[in-house]
Amino acid sequence: MQTLQVSLGERSYPIHIGEHLLEQAQLIIPHLKRKQVAIVTNTTVAPLYLEKLAQPLREAGVSVIAIILPDGEAYKNSDTLNLIYDALLKNRCERSTTIIALGGGVIGDLAGYAAATYLRGVPFIQVPTTLLSQVDSSVGGKTGINHPLGKNMVGAFYQPQLVLADISTLNTLPARELSAGLAEVIKYGLIRDFPFFEWLELHMNELVSLDSAALSYAIYRSCENKAEVVAVDERESGERALLNLGHTFGHAVENAMGYGVWLHGEAVAAGTMMAADLSRRMGWLNSEEYVRIGNILKAANLPIEAPDLGVERYLDLMGLDKKVVDGKIRFVLQQGIGKSVVTSEYDVNLLKETLSLSS
């Protein structure tokens, strides 16, 4: 097992990364205020991993409440959130009850937002079971739900007590979900870690093949990058916005196509290529770098062409992005591989050219 720390003063917390961690109740129990937990999971993950996590806790004298939600991005909404509140209230959960999120990014965001708001805040632990959630969404305290008009537009920054990333859970992850997670892994190389990008170019086949050593390294390096960013910009007032590379374009795709039709990582991959295209048109990215970005995404079995929504539809949807300031859409763009910038200084005509080339 490897451990790293998200340094946020008194709200700092560890990230444990390794195999067969679900069964190790001793990693969780020191972070509980009382011996009662509510495990929030979904209909896909529950049959696979709920008892692996719950039984060792019960054996250690912890009372376990299971809250099983429907699976999918389409359920990341206020109706599903209320199912969590209903269960917490029916079981008379108190402020000392810890909510544990067992699942991917949707479960982590839903459970985290429930934890942030139930009784104005209860303790929260992330146990991510997808690659995307292990390298990105479980770390940093972003929680929330989707709104019909925009993705992740309702939420809160609320840090967990602990992140427990059990790499063994990736063995049951569908290949498409694995690739979606690799989009977020690649992101770290693109925005701030060129040596990691080069490592990914050399080892992508091993990652796609679920090589445990390669996955362990990629997850650790990704979490290390994110932890460093979160430590200096917890609430996305500056550098943390770089973590949204490809997301402004990608969220528009997810919204337009219907939440869940495109996986988040798939939309981010296509959005990353759109950001690279705009960067190239602005003279910030050369053609060789543009090709390398496309090649590594393709090696991860990710789409590099976004659907044709029409320029105006894209602009309308991107106008609902959280990074909009004074009505101006801001983008994360590339100034080379390993260096990104958040900017609202771009030629709108070049942006329209990028948008018109989506397939």
pLDDT value, residue 242:
93
pLDDT value, residue 236:
82
pLDDT one-digit tens code per residue, 192-220: 999 999 999 999 999 999 999 999 999 99
CA dihedral 167, 169, 174, 175 (to 10 degrees): 10
pLDDT value, residue 151:
83
Q: Which fold has domain 2-172?
A: Rossmann fold (3.40.50)
Neighbour count for residue 260 (Cβ, 10 Å): 15
Q: Please state the three-class secondary structure of 99-133 as a single string.
A: EEEEECHHHHHHHHHHHHHHHHCCCEEEEECCHHH
Superfamily of domain covering 175-356: Dehydroquinate synthase-like - alpha domain (1.20.1090.10)
Instruction: Spell out the domain ranges in the chain.
Output: 2-172, 175-356
pLDDT confidence of 358, banded at 50, 70, 90?
Answer: low
Residue 154 tokens, joined: 């309702």
pLDDT surpasses 60 at 326: yes
Residue 66 tokens, joined: 């299971």
- Of 219, 18, 239, give the one whose Cα is nearest residue 137: 219
pLDDT confidence of 239, banded at 50, 70, 90?
Answer: confident
Can you give the pTM of this predicted structure? 0.93
pLDDT value, residue 235:
83
| Angle between helix 287-299 and 194-208 (nearest 10) | 30
pLDDT value, residue 327:
76
Element (H, E) at 205: helix 194-208
Per the CB < 8 A criterion, the answer to whether 239 and 233 are in contact is: yes
Active site residues: 120, 142, 184, 226, 236, 240, 244, 247, 251, 264
pLDDT one-digit tens code per residue, 91-138: 999 999 999 999 999 999 999 999 999 999 999 999 999 999 999 999
Chain centroid, CA 251 distance in Å: 13
* Mean pLDDT over each residue of the chain, to the nearest integer: 95
